[in-house]
Amino acid sequence: MAAKIISLGHTKPTRKISNQYFVEMGLDTSDEWIKERTGIHSRYFTNNEKASSDLGYEAAINCLDNANLKSSAIDLIIVATSTPDHNGFPSTACLIQEKLKCPNIPAFDISAACSGFVYALSTAEGFLATKKYSNILVIGVDCLSKITNMEDRGTCILFGDGAGAALLSQSDTIDEGILLSTINANGSLANILAVPKGGSKHPFNETIAKEKSHFIEMDGQSVFKQAIKLVVNEIKQSLLSVNLTPPDIDYLICHQANQRILDKICQNLSIPLEKSITNIHKFGNTSAASIPLAMSEFHNQTGFKKGDIIVLAGFGAGFTWGITIIKW
């Protein structure tokens, strides 16, 4: 029994942040430099009152409305996030479940950073194969503005907040829906992108607050190289396993990390740039939200067609990566 996406949804905060915002903060940067280096023109930040559960809930409602379904139709909620409302528990999935008013169904979080959404899709596909579940809500949400050092020019210009959601159901045929999902990780690369302190190894205290080591730290060059090498190889192998080749791809939706990374992946796969769905210029890097947000926005504006081959490629901290191949 195959799994298919029957609806998509997304949301963004109301507070739009231009590149000029960082210039006015006093950082040694410029609008032109940020655009040239990253492709980012703007991003959105949540205010102090909003958290991941709020954005996740909004994306879920949008997804359910697009499917013309009520929350009572959901029988499992999976949330991919690196910025849960609470450090520890309860899970953000449980908080969203309460907001949706659909109690007594399983709900849990997945932590795989920017690969989180493809990890969650793969997990949902496995649950649907058990035939115990009919409609699984998968949400990718992050509020990276809450864990970013706004004095660090190398990271603060990249990240934004947002959420995307997908509703998965069982497919009557193996020739549609998710054709393949693969996830992977290499913990030896954990140090190239991390939030070093503030967790159980180094509990948050005044010293950590002063040194700002509870914010994102990144080795940008290493992330760039690993993302391209791992994703290109994984896409090639994944396509081969389902008897497809790069020219068969109708749409490629990569994690929206950096426009130069997206362009390089397309170049190495000989995929025309127009087949790459991108919205990083508007939203920046929204981590687990980036793929479903780009997917949902495109589907709202243009629409996938029956039979389209869509390749999703996630990559991020851990180091984690994963590929989902979908026939719409």
Q: Which residues are catalytic?
A: 114, 255, 285
Please say whether the beta carbons of 153 and 217 come within 8 A: no
Please say whether the beta carbons of 63 and 8 come within 8 A: yes
Strand spans (E) along 208-286: 217-218, 251-254
Please say whether the beta carbons of 73 and 18 come within 8 A: no
Lookup result for tokens 């007594």: 104
Please say whether the beta carbons of 72 and 15 come within 8 A: no
Residues linked to residue 254 through DSSP beta bridges, in sequence order: 313
Interacting residues of 280 by C-beta distance below 8 A, sequence separation 6+ = 38, 39, 40, 256, 257, 258, 259, 262, 290
SS3 312: strand
How many residues does this entry show for the chain?
328
Distance of CA 254 to the CA centre of its chain: 9
Lookup result for tokens 């290499």: 186
Please say whether the beta carbons of 62 and 31 come within 8 A: no
Give, in degrees to the nearest 5, the angle at Cα 177 between 176 and 183.
135
Radius of gyration of the chain (CA): 19
SS3 168: strand
Please say whether the beta carbons of 288 and 142 come within 8 A: yes
Give, in degrees to the nearest 5, the angle at Cα 230 between 316 and 117.
40
